[in-house]
C-alpha cells in the first residue's frame, strides 16, 4: 500500500461517525456513485430470511448500565447527539435504563452500541 493511501486510511480512522457519514455523502455526490453499489450481494436461504429482516429494521437503543466510567459515557452520548444538554446526558447516565435513540437503522445502532460499550456502558436494542 502506498504512503498516500496509508495517510488517507489513518485520517479516516480518526473521523467521528457523523464526519464519516458526511465524507461518504460528499464522495457519492462528487463521483456520482453510491456506497451501497459496492456491497456484495449474497443469496439468503429461506431459513435466514426472518433474522435478516429484523436486522434491516429500525431499533431503539437502551442504556442498561452506565458502568464505572460515567464521564466517558456522557461524552459519547453528547457525541452521538450534539443537541443533548450536559445535564440531560448526565441524568440519562445516572438513571438507567434510558432510551438513547428510537427508530435507528440497525447498522447505525451497532456503531452507537460499539462506542458506548468502549466507554464502559451496557446497551441493548429493543
pTM of the predicted model over 0.85: no
Q: What is the pLDDT of residue 49?
A: 43
Return the number of other C-beta atoms located less than 10 Å from residue 21's C-beta: 13
Render pLDDT for 13-70 as a digit per residue (tens, 0 to 9): 888 878 887 888 888 788 877 665 444 434 444 444 444 444 457 899 999 999 988 9
Check if the beta carbon of residue 80 is closer than 8 Å to that of residue 60.
no
Domains, the chain, ordered by start: 3-38 (no CATH), 57-125 (3.30.1390.10)
Residue 92 sits at φ, ψ, to 5 deg, of: -60, -45
pLDDT in tens, 87-109: 888 999 999 998 888 888 989 99
State which H helix or E strand residue 11 sits in.
helix 3-13
Amino acid at each position: 500500500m502506498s504512503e498516500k493511501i496509508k495517510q488517507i486510511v489513518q485520517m479516516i480512522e480518526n473521523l467521528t461517525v457523523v464526519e464519516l457519514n458526511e465524507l461518504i455523502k460528499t464522495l457519492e455526490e462528487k463521483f456520482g456513485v453510491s456506497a451501497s453499489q459496492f456491497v456484495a450481494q449474497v443469496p439468503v436461504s429461506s431459513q435466514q430470511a426472518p433474522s435478516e429482516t429484523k436486522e434491516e429494521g429500525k431499533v431503539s437503543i437502551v442504556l442498561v448500565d452506565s458502568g464505572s466510567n460515567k464521564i466517558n459515557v456522557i461524552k459519547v452520548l453528547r457525541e452521538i447527539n450534539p443537541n443533548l444538554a450536559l445535564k440531560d446526558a448526565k441524568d440519562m447516565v445516572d438513571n438507567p435504563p434510558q432510551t438513547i435513540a428510537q427508530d435507528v437503522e440497525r447498522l447505525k445502532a451497532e456503531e452507537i452500541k460499539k462506542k458506548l460499550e468502549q466507554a464502559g456502558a451496557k446497551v441493548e436494542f429493543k
